[in-house]
Structure 1
Amino acid sequence: MKRLLLAATAMLLAACGTSNPYYDPAKKHHRPDGYNNNYIDNWAKNQPSFWQWQRERWSNPPPPSNPARVPVATPDLGYLKGNTKDVSVTWIGHSTALWQINGLNILTDPHFSERASPVSFAGPRREVVLPITLAQLPRIDVVLISHNHYDHLDRPSVLALNKQAGGPPLFVVPLGLDLWMKNEGITNVRRMDWWERFDLAAPGGAVTVNFVPVQHWSSRTPLDRNATLWGGFVVQAQVAGSPYSMFFTGDTGYSKDFADIGARFGGFDFSQIAVGCYLPRWFMQTQHVNEDDAVKIHLDVKSRLSMGVHWGTFRLCDDVIEAPIDNLPLARKKYDVADDAFVLFALGETRVLRKGAQ
C-alpha cells in the first residue's frame, strides 16, 4: 500500500509539473511546460517590460494614425467565387488573406471582428473598413492559424467558419491550439509541429501544407504564456504542370529561422510577410519585424514576390498603421530589391499570381 501511495503521489506531481501534453524531449523547442524559440530564449527572466512600455505610452503618446492613407479596393466577388484554376491572393486585412490554389480556398489567420481583443466592447478597433465579409467569401476549405494572439485567432470568426454552409473547413493549427479548438466545439482540426507536413486532396491536384519555425510566442491569458506553439506555413502544389510554392510568416521577429526555411525549400513564388506593428523597437524587436527586417526575410527565403501584411487595420503598437507605405520603399532601396518584388496590396485587392490550366 505504501508503494502504491508513493507511486500515485509521483504520478500526480509529474502531471502537475507538465502542462505540455505533446512534450518531446528530443526536440529542442519543446519544454515540459510549453515551447521555445530556436535562436532566443523567450523564457528568460530579463524580458523587456510590457508595463514600462505602457508607462512610456502614457507619458508620451504615439502619434495618431491616418487610416485614410490605407488604400481600399472593391473586390471582384464573382471571380473569387468562380475561381477554381488560378493561383490568387486577396488581402482582407491585418494578417487575413484568401489564398486560392488548385481549387482550394485557404484563409490565413481569419479575423473579421471589429476589435482584436478578448472582449467586443474594448481593445484595438478596426480602423479601416472590412473590404469583404465572411458571408461574401466562397466556401472556405482550409484555415491556417499561426498562433493564438487575439489579432490572429479571432474566436467569433473561427466559430462562424466552423458553421459555414457545406460543412466546416479544416483548421490547421500549432501544437496545443487543437485543445483550444476542441473546447470550442471545433473538431475538424489538424495539429502540427515545426517541419511537419501533410497532403490535401484538391480539385486541381494535391496541395502540401508545411508548418515551419518562426520567432515569436503565444498567450491568451496571463497564465498560458508559451503553452501552445506558433509558426508559419508553406503551401506547395503543382499548378498548370509546374511547381508553385507559397509562404506565410505568421507573426515573427527576425531570426536565422528564415535562412533555414530558404535553405530547406529553395525559395518561394509568393510570400506573405509581416511588416507592421514594430515600435518601440526596444520592446518589439524580438517579436515583430519592421520593414527593414521584412525585406531581409524576403531575401532569406528567396521569395520571387512578397506581400506585406500585419499593417493597415488595427493599431496595436506605437507605429502608425500606414507606416509601411512610407518605409517599405526605403527598405527595398537599401537592399536593392525591385519595387515590384515586395509590394503592399490595397485592402480587398486580388492578384492572380499564376493562371491555371484552362
Structure 2
Amino acid sequence: MPLLAGCQHVNPYYDASKPHHRPDGFQNRYLEFQPKGLAELARWRWDAWRQDLPRPPAAPPPTTTPDLAFIQANARAGAAMQPSITFIGHATTLLQIPLGEHGLQVLTDPVFSERASPLSFIGPKRAQAPGMALGDLPHIDLVLISHNHYDHLDEASVRALAAQAGGPPLFVVPLGIGAWLQSHGVPGAVELDWFDSHRIERDGAVAEVTLTPSQHWSGRGLGDRLQTLWGGYALLAPDFHFWFAGDTGYSRDFADIGAHFAARHTPANGGGFDLALVPIGAYEPRWFMAQQHVNPEEAVRIHREVDSKRSIGVHWGTFALTDEPSDQPPKDLATASRAAGLPEGAFGTVPIGQTLRLPRRTPIQNPA
C-alpha cells in the first residue's frame, strides 16, 4: 500500500529522452503516481474497521489437486510439448511453452511463502496454499518478475529457484530489480525497460520476451518508492503468444500494447495473444485503489485492448489485501464479461492448482 515517499535517490538508469524516467526513479506514462498520505491511509483503515471489511467469502476460492503427472510428462515431451498454464495462486503461474526440442518452463511472480511481507509473523497471510509446491515444479527455465512488491517478489522463493537442481533459471526483471536480486544471492538477471526485448534461443527456435508498461509503482520500504521499474511481459514463441499484465491500474498503456504487437498479431500470423493473465482483485475501495489496481470491468477492457483470444483472471483469492471479499472478483468478472458481450470462456478464472491445456497458434495463410 502506498505511503508517504521517502528520501530522494539518484536513478542510475536515467535517460532524459524517456518520459517515464526521472533523475530519482521512474513514473507512469499517463498518470503520475502520487503516494497516499497517512491521513488517507488512516481513513481507509478506519472505514474498513467500522464496516468490518473485508467480509468473509460465501465460499473459499476453489482449489484442485494439481495434475503433476501431466506437468512432469509435458516438461519431458520435447518438441511435442503442449502449451499449458497452471494457476499456483495470486500472480504465480507455471507456463509450459513449446520452443525447439525442449520447450520453456516459465514462472510468473513466484511467491510460495506463507506471508507477503518482510516479516514471517505479520503481514498478509495466504488464505490458500500454493497450487503446487516448489519441490513439485519441473526445472524452471525462465522467471518473469513484474515488480518488487512483496506479493510479487518473494526473497525465499527466488533464492530457492536459483538453487534448483540442474542450475538456476533466467530471471527477467524490470530495471533495478537485477541489482536487488544480486544483493540477495541471485546473480545474472536480465533487466529490461518498457518495450525492450530479450531473445531466448532453443535448438534454433527463438522466443522474445518484452517488458510492457503498466500503471503502478514500486517499493519495499519507506525509502525506496519508485526506485525500480514495474511492468508486465509479452512472451512470443513460434507456437504460442502469451501476455502477463503484472499489477496495474487502468490506463492507455493497454491500447498501446495492442498497437505495439499488432503487426505480429495479424490473422496470417495467428491472431492476437493466445493467452493473457490479467489481475482482477484488490480493487476496493476505488477512491484508494483505482490508481494502482484495476477492477474486473477494467480488466475486461484490457483483455480487448491488448487483443487476447483468452484471458485468465489472477491476483485474487490468495492474499486479503483490500476491502472486497476474496470470492467477489470472479463474480464481478462474470458480470463484466456478460455486459461486454464476451464469448463464453473468453475471460474467466480457474481453481488454484488447475492446469489448462491450450492449443498452439494456427496462422491463417489466406485470411478472408
- What residue in structure 2 maps to residue 279 of structure 1? 284
Q: Matched residue of 1:201: which SS?
A: strand
Distance 1:188 1:71 in 2: 37
- What residue in structure 1 maps to residue 256 of structure 2? 260
Q: Which moved more, 1:72-81 or 1:91-100?
A: 72-81
Q: Does structure 2 retain, via aligned residues, the 8 Å contact 1:141–1:169?
A: yes
- What residue in structure 1 maps to residue 269 of structure 2? none
1:166–1:51 CA distance, 2 compared to 1 (3 A): same
Q: Does structure 2 retain, via aligned residues, the 8 Å contact 1:104–1:203?
A: no
- What residue in structure 1 maps to residue 267 of structure 2? none
Q: Does structure 2 retain, via aligned residues, the 8 Å contact 1:215–1:287?
A: yes
Give the Å deviation of 1:119.
0.7
Distance 2:51 2:233 in 1: 37
- What residue in structure 2 maps to residue 28 of structure 1? 19
Distance 1:345 1:58 in 2: 31
- What residue in structure 1 maps to residue 325 of structure 2? 320
**Aligned AA for 2:11?**
N
Give the Å deviation of 1:17.
6.7
Give the Å deviation of 1:334.
1.2
- What residue in structure 2 maps to residue 151 of structure 1? 151
Give the Å deviation of 1:47.
10
Give the Å deviation of 1:67.
7.7
- What residue in structure 2 maps to residue 13 of structure 1? none
Give the Å deviation of 1:168.
0.8
Q: Matched residue of 1:354: which SS?
A: coil
Q: Matched residue of 1:69: which SS?
A: coil
1:141–1:48 CA distance, 2 compared to 1 (3 A): farther
Identity across the alignment (%): 47
Distance 1:76 1:155 in 2: 27
**Aligned AA for 2:328?**
A
Q: Does structure 1 retain, via aligned residues, the 8 Å contact 2:182–2:188?
A: no
Aligned length: 338
Distance 2:260 2:208 in 1: 15
Q: How does 1:107-126 map to 2 (within 5 A)?
A: 107-126=107-126
Q: Does structure 1 retain, via aligned residues, the 8 Å contact 2:125–2:319?
A: yes
Deviations 1:272-304 (A, max 9, x none): 000001000000001001110100100111110
Does residue 81 in structure 1 map to residue 72 in structure 2?
yes
Give the Å deviation of 1:343.
1.4
Query: With structure 1 as the length reference, what TM-score do the two structures score?
Result: 0.90
Q: Does structure 2 retain, via aligned residues, the 8 Å contact 1:209–1:234?
A: yes
Distance 1:56 1:329 in 2: 27
- What residue in structure 2 maps to residue 10 of structure 1? none
Q: How does 1:12-161 map to 2 (within 5 A)?
A: 18-43=9-34, 49-66=40-57, 68-83=59-74, 84=78, 85-102=81-98, 103-161=103-161
Distance 1:204 1:274 in 2: 34
- What residue in structure 2 maps to residue 170 of structure 1? 170
Q: Does structure 1 retain, via aligned residues, the 8 Å contact 2:274–2:361?
A: no
Distance 1:119 1:47 in 2: 22
- What residue in structure 1 maps to residue 316 of structure 2? 311
**Aligned AA for 1:87?**
P
Q: Matched residue of 1:263: which SS?
A: helix
**Aligned AA for 2:30?**
Y
Distance 1:230 1:50 in 2: 23
- What residue in structure 1 maps to residue 226 of structure 2? 226
**Aligned AA for 1:325?**
P
Distance 1:234 1:258 in 2: 12
Q: Does structure 1 retain, via aligned residues, the 8 Å contact 2:48–2:54?
A: no
Q: Which moved more, 1:43-52 or 1:173-182?
A: 43-52
Give the Å deviation of 1:185.
1.4
Q: Does structure 2 retain, via aligned residues, the 8 Å contact 1:67–1:128?
A: no
1:208–1:62 CA distance, 2 compared to 1 (3 A): same
Structure 2 unaligned runs (5+)?
1-6, 263-271, 363-368
Give the Å deviation of 1:58.
2.7
- State the 4+ residue runs in structure 1 displaced beyond 6 angstroms: 44-48
Q: Which moved more, 1:194-203 or 1:276-285?
A: 194-203
Deviations 1:73-96 (A, max 9, x none): 211112212214111111000000
Distance 1:65 1:334 in 2: 26
Give the Å deviation of 1:157.
0.5
Give the Å deviation of 1:197.
0.4
Distance 2:40 2:86 in 1: 36
Q: Does structure 2 retain, via aligned residues, the 8 Å contact 1:111–1:154?
A: yes
1:203–1:71 CA distance, 2 compared to 1 (3 A): farther
1:45–1:87 CA distance, 2 compared to 1 (3 A): closer
- What residue in structure 2 maps to residue 331 of structure 1? 336
**Aligned AA for 1:217?**
W
Q: Does structure 1 retain, via aligned residues, the 8 Å contact 2:33–2:291?
A: no
Structure (1 or 2) with the larger CA radius of gyration: 1
Q: Which moved more, 1:30-39 or 1:260-269?
A: 260-269
- What residue in structure 2 maps to residue 12 of structure 1? none
**Aligned AA for 1:181?**
L
